[in-house]
Amino acid sequence: MLSIAAKAGRIASGEFATETAVKSGKAYLVLTAADASENTAKKFRDMTAFYGVSYRVYGDKGTLGGCIGKDYRSSLAVTDERLAHAVMKKMDNCGM
């Protein structure tokens, strides 16, 4: 699902782009890698709680980046509401 969102141009990846998407109201889901720094994880947990955006932890930096065809990524935002809900549904079904 993340690769589909990336191909559709509905992903903001990297800390700066993710933060911009959340603060501008374009993000519907923020994912951080499990091996992201504690400061990064806390920053996005707090930010998504404040802005009312869904937040999840997924894989490691290599896995998260690989899902969207990039190198290592510690965070990304899904900027399409339907795709964000589809990703969350898949994660919930897999017990993530």
Determine which helix (DSSP H) or strand (DSSP E) holds 67, and give its type and residue range. helix 61-67
DSSP state string for 22-84 = HHTT--SEEEE-TTS-HHHHHHHHHHHHHHT-EEEE-S-HHHHHHHTT-S--SEEEE--HHHH
State if pTM tops 0.85. Answer: yes
- Which tokens sit at 47? 């930010």
Range of the domain at 65: 2-93
- Which tokens sit at 1? 């699902």
- What would the mean pLDDT of 37-53 be, rounded to a whole number? 97
Placement of tokens 């589909």 in the chain: 4
**What CATH number did the domain enclosing 86 receive?**
3.30.1330.30
- The pLDDT value given to residue 60: 94
Average pLDDT, the chain: 94
Q: How many domains does the chain have?
A: 1
